[in-house]
Amino acid sequence: MTEPGLFELESVVVGQPKRSRWRRYVGPALAVSTVEGAPLAWVTFTDDTYCVLTTTSGEFIVRIEQFGPVEFRFTDAADREVGTAGASGLVKTRQLSLRTEQGRQLLLTRLGLVSTEWHLTETDPQGGPTPEILGRVTVSTIDSWTGLQQYVVEMAPSLDACERRTIVASVVCLHQLRRPPGASASPA
């Protein structure tokens, strides 16, 4: 099972670990930590289409498989599908459609093209009355010299652990979609 509290926390940070400017970085591509900075899990890329989320002790949590440029599937240790994420439209990072293990449909929508915040809702914020916000994802640059990004993920208390796992995995997908064209999936 996962580290205590990983998907029970209402806020986590998914970010690129700090690197030395002078040596080649060989650690995980992304780290999941508490807001205070305590490490919870690592994301490592196995190749250009797969990455794996594991606890800091190395225990498998979820595998993220990328199909084409904007479709992702999440599987557990038994190779069962536990969620999906996908984007559509001209701006691939404006909205991700998520489906949890229980089949719940969620949307992670950026507020504007230059906005650094995404809202998690069940309905499209552009399509009618203001929906209930179930979470927020805010991106920031933590090292402008190397361009390292971090995503603060805030989730409503009403979300269960399976839904939170899908949301954290979708933030990994969001990071992959936001990489510059031609950027390698493996850590540089």
Range with lowest mean pLDDT among 68-72, 129-133, 164-168: 129-133
Query: Does the pLDDT value for residue 162 go beyond 70?
Result: yes
Query: Does the pLDDT value for residue 2 go beyond 70?
Result: no
Is 40 a member of any domain?
A: yes
Give the residue numbers spanning the domain of 51: 11-178
Quick one: tokens of 89?
A: 């439209």
What are the pLDDT digits (tens) for 50-95? 999 999 989 999 999 998 778 999 999 999 999 999 987 766 778 8
Question: What is the number of structural domains in the chain?
Answer: 1
Report the 10 Å Cβ neighbour count for 156: 14
d(CA 120, CA 21): 35
The DSSP H or E segment spanning 175 is helix 161-178
Is 188 a member of any domain?
A: no
182 conformational bin, left if phi > 0, alpha if psi -120 to 50, beta if neither: left
Indicate whether this model's pTM tops 0.85: yes
Query: What SS3 state is found at 78?
Result: coil
| Residues 5, 147 contacting (CB under 8 angstroms) | no
**pLDDT the model gives residue 24:** 80
- DSSP bridge partners of 31: 15, 42
| pLDDT, average across residues 123-134 | 76
Is 158 a member of any domain?
A: yes
Is 3 a member of any domain?
A: no
Annotate 136-174 with DSSP letters as a single string: EEEEEEEETTTTEEEEEEEE-TTS-HHHHHHHHHHHHHH
CATH number of domain containing 144: 2.40.160.200
| Residues 142, 163 contacting (CB under 8 angstroms) | no
Is 5 a member of any domain?
A: no
Average pLDDT, the chain: 85
